[in-house]
Amino acid sequence: MPGIKKARIAIVGCGVVGGATAQYLATSEDILTTKTGLQLQLKYVIDKDFTNAKRLGLDEKLFCTDLGKALGDPEVDIVVELVGGINFAKQVIESALKAKKHVVTANKALLAHHQKELLALARANGVCLAFEASCGGGIPLIRAIYDGLMANRIDALYGIVNGTCNYILTSMTQKGLSFEEALSQAQKLGLAEADPTLDISGGDTAHKLTILASLAFARFVPWEAFPVSGIQNLDAYDVTTGGELGYTVKLLAIARRVGEKLSLMVRPAFISKTHPLAWVSGPFNAVSIYGDTVGHTMYYGRGAGGKPTASAIAGDIISIVNGSYAEVFNNNSIWQDTTAPASLASEDEFTARYYLRLMVEDKPGVLANVSAILSEQGIGISSVLQHEHSLDTEKGIPVVITTYKTVEGHVKEALAKIRKLPCSKSEPVCITILDEHAEYS
């Protein structure tokens, strides 16, 4: 076929994603050639253990335990790193780039920590590093940023990018489960890891935010530069009460342009039940991106799993082989190694509305004291909710206050004073409420 471009591919790591990608490439050669005019041939599946590869029925001729053999094979054009983790995966990618192989990876943790140096190494060797599958699984999100949205200055990004947390929060919201009950159910269904720490602590979402914000705002966002909190301390009472007030809680990756600075964070936040992100349920992911020209756009799909992630990996392979990825990789100034460091706004400067649940004695003057403190900080009260309770002098009773838009630093100062009030019986709960981001702001 005239003009056909051939590429041979080595996959390193044959777990859930590696296996699904190998199976896809091994069975889709004809379809891919018909659709793209490219010939993509899987040549090696590299691992130490081929149990999964055999279960998937992959051709044993592909199996190889020696990465060096694939890297020394001049026919191999692309190495797909799917071993996960940081140290060994980094060695795999570095050796592949030094061997002048293009690299495709889904490894968000590695990219969050070392993306800048790996991008520079790829460039120094005249090859590309592509990572669509690192954020949002099968959702073509990174290519939306580097391609379809390139005409825009990105003003804000709000993402549900961890399926485990979204599954847990959906169960808490829809079934009234506690965090522990929802996590245990997710683990039984295989939707949460046996050790879910990185997911529930917000760490995995932070990895993805580092990657997405760097590209979207064309600034180098270093890892661990912004505050991260997870969902492990969320109380079912607040999920239910937020629901009564018209809100759904989501673990959000938040990024906003504030003048020349970026405001970045990961935290559970209430959003209106009418916001499209509130409808994203179970293990699905979605990201809202606001551009200065396009306004609000949203990207939705499966954020994990073998087949969806294989779809994103295959998309990267196609773009590398047809040359379109090299165009953006070499020419767009959006990559961590070709942009200036981001200047980050402090958490205290963040503006939002807040849900405050105070645990206070039920006696005259309590609300007057609390509202006086909020007033001193210039914080307006939007609603107050107190159900009738039997008096619990030990823990106090919950009084829920929602505020108008204010500055987070003022809320922290107010809470520090409220904690010291004699009527305050236990630690107040504070959850951010995000109104829909104004388009063209």
Which spans of this chain sit near ligand HSE (rule: CB under 6 A)? 137, 162-164, 199, 204, 303-304
> Minimum CB separation from ligand HSE for residue 285, in Å?
7
Dist CA 157 CA 253 (whole Å): 8
Least Å distance, CB 178 to ligand HSE, is 20
DSSP codes joined into one string, 111-127: HHHHHHHHHHHHHHTT-
User: Could you tell me if 74 and 41 are in contact, meaning their C-beta atoms sit under 8 angstroms apart?
Assistant: no
Interatomic CA distance for residues 197 and 204, integer angstroms: 9
For the chain, what's the residue count? 441
Backbone angles phi, psi at 160, to 5 degrees: -100, 100
- The string of DSSP letters for 166-206 reads HHHHHHHHHH---HHHHHHHHHHTTSS-SS-HHHHTSHHHH
User: Do 305 and 137 meet the contact criterion of CB atoms below 8 Å apart?
Assistant: yes
Active site members: 208
The span from the CA of 332 to the CA of 125, in Å, is 18
CA distance 282 to 264: 25
Q: Which C-beta is closer to ligand HSE: that of 137 or that of 268?
A: 137
- Tokens in use for 119? 């991008």
Q: In whole angstroms, what is the distance from residue 397 CA to residue 362 CA?
A: 7
- Least Å distance, CB 139 to ligand HSE, is 11
Tokens of 441: 């702001």
Residue nearer to ligand HSE on the CB measure, 64 or 251: 251
For residue 41, how many other CB atoms are within 10 A of its CB? 15
Least distance to ligand HSE from the beta carbon of 72, Å? Answer: 32
Which bin fits 378, alpha (ψ -120 to 50), beta or left (φ > 0)? left
Q: How far is the CB of 313 from ligand HSE (least distance, A)?
A: 13
User: Nearest distance from residue 271's CB to ligand HSE, in Å?
Assistant: 19
List the structure tokens of 9: 């591919």
